[in-house]
Amino acid sequence: MNRCVTVLAAAVFAAGLIANPAFARGTVPRAPKAPSGPVVVVPSAADPQDAIDWLTDYEEACKVAAEEKRALLILISTDDLERTSQSCRFAGDVIRRTVRDAKVVPLKLLPAPALDLAGLRPEEAKKRQEVLTESRKRYEELAKRFGVTTVPSVVYAAPDGAKLTVQAAPSDEDIRGVLVRLPEMVKAQADAVAREGKKPEPVAGKDDPGKQPEPKKPEPPKDTKDDF
């Protein structure tokens, strides 16, 4: 009786081995070995949590800079450059960290995008078009006041809004270099204002109470085209 049970058990075990393809091929799956060396974690190229929190309103950015005594970093670009990644992307972790460590107020200025006025009543379409025209005019006005003739450009301004320097299509290394020297530039500008004994004349916003009227300039010929 015991011999029959033993023979039956051996037969069942052998049948199980033959039915298993891995055992039949002699390739028994094994657990993967743990790596012997240190585990290297490759950081992502652009972490969304690392992104710069850009302001988009000039007057608001100037207010924050004045209240918190921080310099302004103003990126002047266009939608096309942003979409094609030809603008200053600030994509690297190093440059993002440098911008944050510099404690500047980051402001991005873009021209207002074109509007789809299809299906709107004439009155509503006209109103929206007027808002668009005013917004684009404001963008061009600020660019000209800062002396920007090329996009993308980065403008650095003191906490009072006074322009310090402008970089046309700068590299990350160029931006990093100015950010390192920015505290000295802000101090030099403040010292110069104190020596002159007069209030600074920042690039004022359209609603700034301290804005001085600009001298009238001769009107250009009608066939002159603005290249900006």
Q: pLDDT tens, 12-62?
A: 445 554 455 544 445 544 554 544 544 333 444 445 556 889 999 999 999
Q: Is the pLDDT of residue 11 over 60?
A: no
The overall average pLDDT reported for the chain is: 75
State the CB neighbour count (10 A cutoff) for residue 160.
21
Biggest CA-to-CA distance, the chain: 120
Note the pLDDT of residue 209: 37
For residue 44, with 0-12 CB atoms within 10 Å meaning exposed, 13-18 middle and 19 or more buried, which class applies? exposed
User: pLDDT grade, residue 91 (50/70/90)?
Assistant: low
- Provide mean pLDDT across the span 72-101: 83
Within 8 A by CB and 6+ apart from 193, the residues are: 162, 199, 200
Q: Are strands 105-109 and 72-76 parallel, antiparallel or unpaired?
A: parallel
Q: Is the pLDDT of residue 206 over 60?
A: no
Note the pLDDT of residue 147: 94
| Least trusted range by pLDDT, from 21-35, 136-150, 186-200 | 21-35
Q: Is the pLDDT of residue 127 over 50?
A: yes
User: Please, what is the Cα angle at 156 between 57 and 194, to 5 degrees?
Assistant: 105
Note the pLDDT of residue 124: 84
State the CB neighbour count (10 A cutoff) for residue 225.
5
User: pLDDT grade, residue 192 (50/70/90)?
Assistant: very high
Structure token digits, residue 62? 């100037």
Q: Comparing C-alpha atoms, which of 172, 174, 159, 171 is closest to residue 104?
A: 159
- φ, ψ of residue 168 to 5 degrees: the values are -95, 120
> The tokens 């290297």 sit on which residue?
40
Residue pair 166/146 in contact (Cβ under 8 Å)? The answer is yes
CATH fold of 48-196: Glutaredoxin (3.40.30)
Note the pLDDT of residue 56: 94
Structure token digits, residue 192? 């110069």
